[in-house]
């Protein structure tokens, strides 16, 4: 069972966003999302004048103690102004790692972690210093390779202040504004650094959205390449594939529904659709991290947590998923792309990846695709990471980007 859970939780959305549709029966005046409990650290509280700042402006900064995950590197935490999915000003945070061999204006990697969570205790910024034995920064080994090469690394908490798990476009905006923020702090030595993006699965979703949004949202950033793996590029297709059957990872489905409701409270209605079983599950996971969410939701199904017989029929929910699906977003990156996935990935619609890559190629983007010799989502993450780092290294050197278009 433990092996099955590890395999399933690696994907951020993992094809389970059908639950968002399952509960969206039309938003009513009484609908109220269940937001996460406040972060106990006041550093992450947005100042009252957040709306007076521009996206990427630094609101707070502090240097953190040395970290066991990334020995030898300075660690900084930044709170910055960004924009939510409905265009409203919010504050988000990024963790910045500065290795001792970094040269001023040397490479900067913004790496978007896989975060399957609804609670602030699950943020990368928090998990770096937690004593919880069940928590681990799974992608630290790869990041230490980047740090050993002298790259500075930014680690945005791309789910935002509401921990809006499933809101992919939001993750892209937070990623770009986090890069803007670290570039504005002189002592971080990256003001004129070339920027690379990286991430897998849910982190790949934030990465891919950042690359696609950058030409319009942050055109001033010198993004030399984006390495994105196992990206869910069409949430609606994933929802349709799941349907209403019991699933070992149903907890993640429920979490995605709650996260989207938090981000789109005027268009998504989850909490008002829940029956007693659903409200119980909500109470168990509303501030949970991956292990808790998986444990309490294992083997459940949408029709067990709602009594609404029309739970699959809400156009607003499908539209929210469309707005967070790269396959349906008309913009294209203006930086080269390294994309990798398993050709037999059963968690992510591979045809949506193919369609999106084809559209990028037709627009003149240099895309290198790696099909990993692996049958599943998890192993592809590991197999593609070394090649993605080497590909980014070549972009930082200024080598011409290869293409498999």
Domain that holds residue 163: 2-234+322-397
Q: Is residue 90 part of a domain?
A: yes
Q: Is residue 281 part of a domain?
A: no
Confirm if 229 and 381 have CB atoms less than 8 A apart.
Answer: yes
Alpha carbon distances (Å) from 322 to 9, 209, 234, 325: 23, 13, 7, 5
CATH number at 60 reads: 3.40.50.1820
- What is the number of structural domains in the chain? 1
The closest alpha carbon to 237, from 339, 330, 356, 318, belongs to 318
CA-CA distance, 404 to 35, in Å (whole number)? 43
pTM of the model: 0.92
CB neighbour list of residue 382: distance below 8 Å, 6 or more residues apart: none
- The β-bridge partners of 109 are 153, 196
Q: Is residue 287 part of a domain?
A: no
Q: Is residue 72 part of a domain?
A: yes
Q: Is residue 242 part of a domain?
A: no
**Tokens standing for residue 48:** 């009252």
Q: Is residue 254 part of a domain?
A: no
Q: Is residue 248 part of a domain?
A: no
**Tokens standing for residue 193:** 């650094």
Walk along the chain (405 residues) and give the pLDDT tens digit of each residue: 233 333 333 333 433 444 444 444 444 434 579 999 999 999 999 999 999 999 999 999 999 999 989 999 999 999 999 999 999 999 999 999 999 999 999 999 999 998 889 999 999 999 998 877 656 677 899 999 999 999 999 999 999 999 999 999 999 999 999 999 999 999 999 999 999 999 999 999 999 999 999 999 999 999 999 999 999 999 888 777 666 778 887 888 889 889 999 999 999 888 888 999 999 999 999 999 988 998 999 989 888 998 876 666 778 888 999 999 999 999 999 999 999 999 998 778 899 999 999 999 999 999 999 999 888 888 888 899 999 999 999 999 999 999 999
Q: Is residue 52 part of a domain?
A: yes
């Amino acid at each position: 069972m433990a092996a099955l859970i590890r395999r399933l939780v690696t994907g951020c959305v993992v094809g389970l966003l059908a639950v968002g549709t399952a509960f969206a029966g039309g938003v009513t005046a009484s609908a109220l999302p269940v937001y996460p409990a406040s972060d106990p650290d006041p550093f992450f509280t947005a100042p009252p004048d957040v709306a007076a700042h521009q996206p990427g402006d630094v609101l707070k900064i502090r240097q953190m103690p040395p970290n066991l995950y990334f020995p030898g590197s300075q660690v900084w935490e930044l709170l910055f102004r960004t924009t939510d999915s409905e265009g409203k000003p919010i504050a988000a945070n990024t963790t910045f790692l500065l290795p001792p061999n970094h040269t001023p204006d040397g490479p900067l990697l913004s790496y978007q972690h896989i975060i399957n969570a609804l609670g602030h205790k699950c943020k990368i910024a928090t998990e770096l210093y937690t004593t919880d034995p069940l928590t681990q920064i799974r992608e630290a080994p790869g990041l230490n390779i980047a740090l050993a090469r002298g790259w500075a690394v930014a680690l945005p908490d791309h789910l935002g202040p509401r921990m809006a798990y499933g809101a992919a476009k939001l993750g892209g905006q937070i990623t770009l504004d986090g890069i803007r923020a670290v570039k504005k702090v002189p002592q971080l030595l990256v003001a004129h650094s070339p920027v690379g993006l990286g991430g897998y699965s849910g982190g790949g979703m934030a990465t891919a959205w950042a690359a696609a949004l950058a030409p319009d949202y942050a055109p001033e950033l010198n993004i030399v390449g984006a390495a994105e793996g196992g990206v869910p590029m069409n949430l609606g297709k994933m929802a349709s594939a799941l349907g209403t059957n019991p699933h070992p990872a149903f907890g993640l489905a429920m979490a995605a529904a709650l996260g989207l409701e938090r981000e789109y409270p005027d268009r998504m209605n989850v909490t008002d659709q829940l029956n007693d079983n659903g409200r119980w599950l909500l109470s168990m996971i509303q501030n949970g991290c991956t292990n808790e969410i998986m444990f309490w939701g294992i083997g459940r199904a949408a029709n067990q947590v709602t009594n609404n017989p029309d739970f699959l029929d809400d156009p607003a929910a499908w539209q929210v998923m469309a707005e967070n699906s790269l396959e349906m977003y008309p913009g294209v990156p203006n930086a080269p792309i390294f994309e990798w996935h398993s050709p037999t990935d059963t968690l992510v619609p591979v045809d949506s990846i193919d369609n999106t890559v084809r559209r990028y190629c037709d627009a003149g983007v240099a895309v290198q695709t790696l099909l990993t010799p692996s049958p599943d989502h998890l192993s592809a993450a590991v197999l593609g990471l070394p090649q993605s780092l080497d590909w980014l290294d070549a972009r930082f050197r200024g080598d011409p980007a290869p293409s498999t278009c």
